[in-house]
Chain A
Amino acid sequence: MTAVQQNGAKPKLRFIEPSAIAGVLTHDLTIFKRYWPSTTFSSIVEPTIYLLAFGVGFGALVPVVTGVPYIEFLGTGVVATAVLFSSAFAGMFQSFIRRHFQRTYDAMLAAPVDTHELVTGEALWIAGKSGVYGCAPLLVAMAFGLDPSLGMLLVPLIGFLTGLGFGLFGIWISAVMPSIDSFNYIISAVLTPLFLVAGTFFPIEELPSWANVLAQFNPLYHCVELVRHAAFGLKPLADLWHVAVLSIFAAFMWLLAVRQMRRRLID
C-alpha cells in the first residue's frame, strides 16, 4: 500500500490481506500480554477440575471404558471441553465487549481493516489460544498414567481447528444477541448440551441410536473422536471425515459471523 501512495497507482487488494490480519493479531497479543495469567488460569483450571473430579472420583467406579482406563478416556475427551470453553466464550464475551462497550472494532475499521479481516483475525487468535489450552487436560491425564504418543502432537492442531469454528460461533452469537445477559440462553441451551453429548464423559454408543445420529451434527463430538484417535491410534478414513466436518463447521460459522458483524458495524 505504501507503493500506491508513491506512484499513485491503485493495485488490486487481496480479499484477505495478511497485514490487516497481522494488525488484528497484534492487538490481541498486546491485550493478552496484559491478561494472560487470568485468561490462562480459567481456561486451563476449569477443564482440569472436571478431569480430576470425574476421572478420579467416577473412575474408581468405572475403571475401564472402551478398552482404556476411564481417566485416560476422560483426559482425551476433556480436551474438547477446554477448547470449547476457551473459544466459544472468548468469541462471545470478548467480541461483544470490544464491539459494544469499548468500540474498539469501530476504531479498527477506521484503519485499513475490513470486517471480514477483523473477524478472521479475532477467530485465528482465539483458535490459536484454544489449540494451546486444549493440551492442558492431556498433560494432566499424562500425570495420571496416559502414555504419550506421537499422534498427540496433532492435538494442538485439532484444538485450533475446533477452536476456530467455535470462536467464530461465539463471534456470530455476540453480533446476534442484544445483550450480554442473553448469552445465558446460548450457554444453557446450546453449549452445555453440546459438551455433554460429545462423548466426553461417556461413549455416545451408550446413547439411543437417534442421539448417535444427532452427535454427528455436533462438532465437539468430532473433536473428541479426533483427539482420542490421536492419542490411541489414528483411523485415517474416519479422521478425514472428522476433519472435514470441523472444517465445514468453521467455514459456515465464518460466513455467519462476517455477515452478522458487518450488519452490526457497517450501517
Chain B
Amino acid sequence: MSQQPALSLTGVVKRYGEITAVDGLDLDIAPGTCLGLLGPNGAGKSTTMRMLTGQSIADSGEIQVLGYRIPAESKHARALMGVVPQLDNLDAELTAEQNLAVFARLYRVPARERRAAVDRALGIAQLTDRANARTEGLSGGMRRRLLIARGLVHQPRLVLLDEPTVGLDPQIRQELWSLIDGLRTAGTTVLMSTHYIEEAERLADDVAVMNHGKIIARGAPVALLTEHAGKTAAEYYGPPERLVVVERLAQAAGMPTRRTGPSISVLRAEDMPPSLTDELGDGLRRAANLEDVFVALTGEVVG
C-alpha cells in the first residue's frame, strides 16, 4: 500500500502582479524523508514555503500538508509542523528560554510537558547554559540554532527549513547540518530550501531543482548526477582565449560544458572522446556535483 505523502502540491500557481513566482508547481514528499529544494534566489522557494503554512495563498492549484487542505485547514497542519524561516524573527529582547517557552505555548504543548519541551529544545540548540541570555546577545550561529530549536519545540512531524544556513560561516554551517541530519535520522519529514549545493547533497534524500517557479528535475542526488552531469568533470584553466578554444572544441565534440569561475568544466568527462583528450589534455578531474546538474539544466548559476 502506498503511503500518503507528507505534503503535496499540485499545479500550484502564485502570482504577484505581473510576476509569476510559482508556476504550476507539482511536488510531493514521502513521510520521513528530507527533500532539498534547490534553486537560485527568486526561484520561488520561499513563496512555496509560505504557501505551505497558509501565509501566502496560491492563486490556483491544490496543496495538502499532513492530510490537511491548505489554506482551509492550515491551522491543523501548522500545529503539526515546525517552520524555520530564512530571516531571524526571534524576540531579541527575550532570553533563549523565554523565546522557546512562548512558542511552546503558541504550539499548544500541554502545560505539564512545556518545561521538558523547552529544556529539550535548549539542548537541541546547545544553549542549555545560555538559557537566560538575551537573544540579542547571542552570536549569529547560536541565534540560528535557537531559531531551529524554536521550530522543533513541539516535536513536529514535518519541518520546513527555509535556507537554514544562509549567511553563516562554514563551521557553524557544519554544526547545523549535524542538527538537521539528526532530524532526518529521527524520522521527521524535512523540506529544506537551499541554494547551497553541498547542503542539498549532504542532507537530502531527494533533491528537487526549482527554477522560475517550476520543478525542472527531481531525484536522489546520485541519480540526478548520473542523468544530467555524469560521474566526473574535467576542469581546464588558462587565459580567456584558451578557455574559449576549450569550450568550442568540447561543444563541437558534443560534450556539455560550463563556466566555473576562471575555468571551463567539461561535464561527463568519463565519456570524453580520446581525440578531444589528445587536443585538450586531461584537465583537472573532479567528481560531478549538483551545481553541474543545475547549470546543465538551466544554464544559470545557483546562488
Contact = CB atoms under 8 A, between A and B. Distances in A.
B106 A112 contact: yes
Given A13-B75, A22-B105, A107 B57 contact: no
B273 interface: no
Contacts of A239: none
A89 B244 CA distance: 64
A30 interface: yes
Given A110-B85, A267-B56, A31 B106 contact: no
A24 B91 CA distance: 13
Contact of A266 (B57, B78, B80, B105): B57
Interface stretch (A1-9, A54-62, A154-162, A164-172): A1-9
B92 interface: yes
Interface in B52-82: 53-57, 67-68, 73, 75-76, 78-80
Nearest to A265: B55
Interface stretch (B93-101, B120-128, B164-172, B286-294): B93-101
A108 B67 CA distance: 22
Nearest to B21: A267
Nearest to A1: B79
Contact of A10 (B68, B91, B92): B68
A27 B107 CA distance: 12
A19 B107 CA distance: 9
B231 interface: no
Interface stretch (A78-86, A98-106, A213-221): A98-106
B240 interface: no
A109 interface: yes
Contacts of B110: 2
Nearest to B82: A110
Contact of A110 (B16, B53, B80): B53
Contacts of B216: none
Interface residues of A, number: 33
B108 A109 contact: no
B68 A111 contact: no
Contacts of A8: 67
A4 B68 CA distance: 11
B184 interface: no
A5 B108 CA distance: 13
Interface string A89-125: 0000000000000111011111111100000000000
B196 interface: no
B267 interface: no
Given A26-B105, A266-B54, A34 B94 contact: yes
Contacts of A35: 93
A29 to B, nearest CB: 9
A120 to B, nearest CB: 14
Contacts of A112: 75-76, 78-79, 106-108
A22 to B, nearest CB: 7
Contact of A109 (B55, B101, B103): B55
Contacts of B93: 31, 34-35
A4 B157 CA distance: 14
B98 A113 contact: no
Nearest to B151: A110
Nearest to A19: B108
B91 A113 contact: no
B32 to A, nearest CB: 16
B297 interface: no
Contacts of A10: 68, 73, 76
A1 B94 contact: no
27 contacts: A1-B76, A8-B67, A10-B68, A13-B75, A23-B102, A23-B107, A26-B101, A26-B105, A26-B106, A27-B91, A27-B105, A31-B93, A35-B93, A106-B55, A106-B89, A107-B90, A107-B150, A109-B53, A109-B55, A110-B85, A111-B79, A111-B103, A112-B76, A112-B78, A112-B107, A265-B55, A267-B57
Interface of A: 1-2, 4-5, 8, 10, 13, 19-20, 22-24, 26-27, 30-31, 34-35, 102-104, 106-114, 265-267
Given A10-B73, A107-B90, A112-B106, 6 more contacts: A13-B75, A24-B106, A26-B106, A34-B93, A103-B85, A107-B85
